[in-house]
């Protein structure tokens, strides 16, 4: 998928992470992180546990504030708070390891909540759109079911549909298959491969290296709060440049 067109040189990146530092108390967990992501690009983020992958995603989505640096989406810096934040947060949809569906709402109810409240869609518009998105993730027949009636893989596909319903400019995935039984992993990865083929801009934290090889335009390797390597997926897997990446791959592959 490296052949998909990326933004031309005159266009600013869709996501620009520049010189970001993040502290929790006295502990620095992101060190001068910079990364530009073009519209339509798929970036897979890998690295050992505790290297800052989740924190980076959460900063892009403004679930965490950054200590210094800038993060812009489509040229707009993320504000610290307020109504504008809710709208801009919706520009960066996030899918978590634990699907986080609302247990008391139907599947369709989960998908329409955000579009109605944050995007200002009418219920009818939101439901129409929600049903189309459920069909897209292969769950058209589950609209009236409740989350507990679905398998983990199905729930995660609903979570992806819910994120898409907000019409995000970029989708962030934080280990979307890590909580799934092995037989359910592929059905979720297949949805991601489909989104990639349609040109969705995505940042995906995952340990699924086969998927990374197949779907990533670029691989970002993090260690100890720093981006240690950024390379095309082909280059990264064929010839990682650092000792730490070689060591990480030897343990995970
Ligand atoms: P990863 O996702 O790569 O496993 P994280 O981003 O979750 O890494 O964590 C990076 C570092 O930040 C770890 O040392 C972790 O303990 C620390 N950390 C994460 N969240 C918090 C928090 N809310 N408060 C304090 N420390 C945190
Ligand atoms: Mg994490």
133: helix, strand or coil:
helix
Q: Which atom of ligand 1 is nearest to the CA of 27?
A: 26
- Indicate which residue's Cα is closest to atom 10 of ligand 1: 52
Count the Cβ atoms, other than its own, within 10 Å of residue 205: 23
CB 19 within 8 A of CB 192: no
CA of 128 to the centre of ligand 1 (A): 39
- Indicate which residue's Cα is closest to atom 14 of ligand 1: 50
CA of 54 to the centre of ligand 1 (A): 7
pLDDT at site 119: 86
Residues flanking ligand 1, CB < 6 Å: 24, 29, 47, 49-55
Rounded to two decimals, the ipTM of the complex is 0.98
Q: Which atom of ligand 1 is nearest to the CA of 24?
A: 25
- Indicate which residue's Cα is closest to atom 19 of ligand 1: 55
CB 188 within 8 A of CB 171: no
- Indicate which residue's Cα is closest to atom 13 of ligand 1: 50
CB 178 within 8 A of CB 97: yes
pTM metric for this prediction: 0.93
CB 143 within 8 A of CB 108: yes
pLDDT at site 240: 95
pLDDT at site 81: 65
Instruction: Ligand 1 pocket test: pick from 21, 23, 28, 29 the residue with the most ligand atoms within 8 Å of its Cβ.
Output: 29
pLDDT at site 203: 98
pLDDT at site 165: 96
Q: Which atom of ligand 1 is nearest to the CA of 225?
A: 10
Torsional class of 160: left (φ above 0), alpha (ψ -120 to 50), beta (otherwise):
alpha
Mean pLDDT by 10 residues, the chain (253 residues): 48 92 97 97 97 96 91 83 72 93 97 92 97 97 98 98 96 97 96 96 97 96 98 95 95 84
- Residue the block writes with tokens 């040109």: 199
Rounded Cα distance, 182 and 202, in Å: 23
CA of 49 to the centre of ligand 1 (A): 9
pLDDT at site 223: 97
- Indicate which residue's Cα is closest to atom 27 of ligand 1: 24
Rounded Cα distance, 237 and 162, in Å: 32
Q: Which atom of ligand 1 is nearest to the CA of 64?
A: 23
Sign of the C-alpha dihedral computed for residues 153, 158, 161 and 166 taken in this order? negative
């Amino acid at each position: 998928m490296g052949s998909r067109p990326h933004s031309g040189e005159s266009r600013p990146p869709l996501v620009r992470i520049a010189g970001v530092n993040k502290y929790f108390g006295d502990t620095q967990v992101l060190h001068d992180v910079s990364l530009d992501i073009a519209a339509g690009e798929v970036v897979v983020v890998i690295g050992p546990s505790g290297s800052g992958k989740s924190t980076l995603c959460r900063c892009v989505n403004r679930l965490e504030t950054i200590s210094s640096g800038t993060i812009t989406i489509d040229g707009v810096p993320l504000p610290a708070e307020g109504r504008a934040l809710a709208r801009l947060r919706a520009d960066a949809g996030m899918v978590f390891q634990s699907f986080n569906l609302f247990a008391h709402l139907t599947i369709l109810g989960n998908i329409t909540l955000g579009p109605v409240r944050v995007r200002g869609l009418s219920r009818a518009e939101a439901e129409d759109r929600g049903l189309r998105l459920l069909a897209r993730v292969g769950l058209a027949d589950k609209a009236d079911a409740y989350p507990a009636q679905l398998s983990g893989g199905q729930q995660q596909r609903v979570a992806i549909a819910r994120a898409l319903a907000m019409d995000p400019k970029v989708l962030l995935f934080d280990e979307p298959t890590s909580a799934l039984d092995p037989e359910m992993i592929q059905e979720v990865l297949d949805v991601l491969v489909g989104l990639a083929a349609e040109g969705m801009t995505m940042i995906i934290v995952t340990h699924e290296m086969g998927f990374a090889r197949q779907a990533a335009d670029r691989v970002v390797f993090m260690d100890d709060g720093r981006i240690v390597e950024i390379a095309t997926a082909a280059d990264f897997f064929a010839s990682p440049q650092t000792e730490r990446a070689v060591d990480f791959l030897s343990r995970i592959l």
